[in-house]
Amino acid sequence: MDDRTTSDEDLMLRIQRRRDEDAFNLLFARYRVPITSYVYRLVGKQAEAESLAQEAFLRVLQKADRYIYPKRFSTWFYTIARNLATDFLKKKRAVVTDNFRSLSESMLGPAPAVAEQEAAAHEELQQLVRALQELPLTYREVVVLRSLQELSYREIAAIVGCPESTARSRMDYGLDYLRKHYRRKDGEKI
The answer, as to whether pTM is greater than 0.85, is no
Torsion of CA 70, 152, 144, 24, to 10 degrees: 20
Expressed in angstroms, the distance from the first to the final Cα of the chain is: 53
pLDDT at site 77: 97
Contact predicate 87/115, CB 8 Å? no
| pLDDT, tens only, 102-155 | 454 444 444 444 456 666 767 777 777 777 878 899 999 999 899 888 899 999
pLDDT at site 134: 84
pLDDT at site 123: 77
Residue 100 has pLDDT above 50, yes or no: no
Domains of the chain by start residue, with CATH: 1-95 (1.10.1740.10)
Q: pLDDT band for position 98 (50/70/90)?
A: very low
pLDDT at site 27: 97
| pLDDT, tens only, 150-170 | 899 999 999 999 999 999 999
| pLDDT, tens only, 35-92 | 999 999 888 889 999 999 999 999 999 999 999 999 999 999 999 999 999 999 888 7
pLDDT at site 181: 76
User: Cα(131)–Cα(140) distance, rounded to whole angstroms?
Assistant: 10
pLDDT at site 45: 86
